[in-house]
Structure 1
Amino acid sequence: MTPPPTTMTLGRRLTEGRCGFDNGMGVEVMDGEDDAKLHIFWSSAGARYTEQASSLGYLRNFQLHMLAAPDILFRPAVKADLPQLYACDPYAQAHESRRVELQRMVQQALCIVAVADGHVLGFAVLEYHFFGHGFVSLVCVAGAHRGKGLALSLVMELAQRCTTQKLFSSTNASNAPAQRLFASAGFVPSGIVENLDPGDPEFIFFKALHNDEPQHPLAQ
């Protein structure tokens, strides 16, 4: 596939329905005022995500710059990946309970890893314990690969693999980066749960998944 022009306005991207990237490419959004960046990645399955102008309206005057990226494979985690999952997750390194939980998630085929050159760059977990709906319960990227849009790519991969029409996730009120991640992935606020962590309520997020969205073969 021939790469698109290096720079393209968002309006043209929306018109052509290509707010995303083919596997191995990415989009970097530059804010003309403060140079804030938002990376939008496509999933490995090759589906084209078409974002609505309303959800990206605040980016209308930005410029999009195509980024070269290593070939990244998204696949279910296997037992042999566990040491690399622990290495990605500082909490797992310090807590046996998280390592046990990751073992369960891998055994139940709930964990998806992002792999490049045989190395796990990050992982995310999709479960169905939230009233029978898909729920992103964990997203973790190795320290050396953070800030490159990989977390967003993982979330979008889970959205494509999800077998329900509703996808949820949650994070603490104090976790601003996670809230920005979910907003970038098209989630909207869907409630607050108090009394889980003292003084730090849990924000619920929701993303509608449509029947015509392509499903990954492993999710069917």
Structure 2
Amino acid sequence: MSVEIRNGAPGDLAAIVALDPATGIAERRHDYLSKALAGFGGSSVKVLVLDGQIAGFAVMSEFFGHPFLERIATAENRRRAGVASALMTHIEMAIDDDRMFVSTNESNEVMRTLLAARNYKVSGVVENLDPGDPELFFVIFKTDIDAAIEAAR
């Protein structure tokens, strides 16, 4: 089994769109992912490639001058296999700021569980992005990331 995490490229768009569950719900998602792959607005995309196939991706940008994980998704047949965790570890280890933010809908229990397990702390709530499903914002500080790395050694 070969695993690689690399920068996403415009040629990855079809594979990324195919595994993003929100693409069918929001037609704007295709354009959003295309722009992120092109680096629009300072965005970047990381992809996890497993045995030659994209198994997950993460979109990074900035939030008030700090790194912000905008979107992370895993191929349906690779969920609960550590793909999102591997992407997050890769991103966290590369941040050169004192903190990183991420958000998710209140209804996304899988993501909220992942963030809690990784020691992210709730940082705020925004109502009315998705009516009836508030967006929760989380933060992790570089000192917490460094402490987790040290504890794992």
TM class by shorter chain equals 0.7 to 0.9
Question: Does structure 2 retain, via aligned residues, the 8 Å contact 1:86–1:93?
Answer: no
Q: How many angstroms apart in 2 are the aligned matches of 1:190 and 1:93? A: 30
Match of 1:196? 129
Match of 2:49? 115
1:124-203 paired onto structure 2 within 5 Å: 124-128=58-62, 130-203=63-136
Q: How many angstroms apart in 2 are the aligned matches of 1:138 and 1:167? A: 13
Larger Rg: 1 or 2?
1
Question: Does structure 2 retain, via aligned residues, the 8 Å contact 1:192–1:203?
Answer: yes
Q: CA deviation at 1:94?
A: 5.0
The sequence identity of aligned pairs, in percent, is 34
Question: Does structure 2 retain, via aligned residues, the 8 Å contact 1:86–1:99?
Answer: yes
Aligned-pair Cα RMSD in Å: 1.8
- Judging changes above 3 Å, is the alpha-carbon distance between structure 1 residues 196 and 136 closer, same or farther for their aligned structure 2 residues? same
Q: How many angstroms apart in 2 are the aligned matches of 1:82 and 1:193? A: 29
Q: CA deviation at 1:85?
A: 0.4
Aligned residues: 142
* TM-score, normalised by the number of residues in structure 1: 0.60
Gaps of 5+ in 1: 1-69, 214-220
1:171 match: secondary structure: strand
* TM-score, normalised by the number of residues in structure 2: 0.84
Match of 2:23? 92
Residues 21-47 of structure 1: per-residue CA shift (max 9 Å, x gap): xxxxxxxxxxxxxxxxxxxxxxxxxxx
Gaps of 5+ in 2: 147-153
* Structure ranking higher in helix proportion: 2
1:198-217 paired onto structure 2 within 5 Å: 198-210=131-143
Q: 1:102 aligns with which of 14, 33, 43?
A: 33
Runs of 4+ in structure 1 deviating by more than 3 angstroms, as ranges, are 93-96
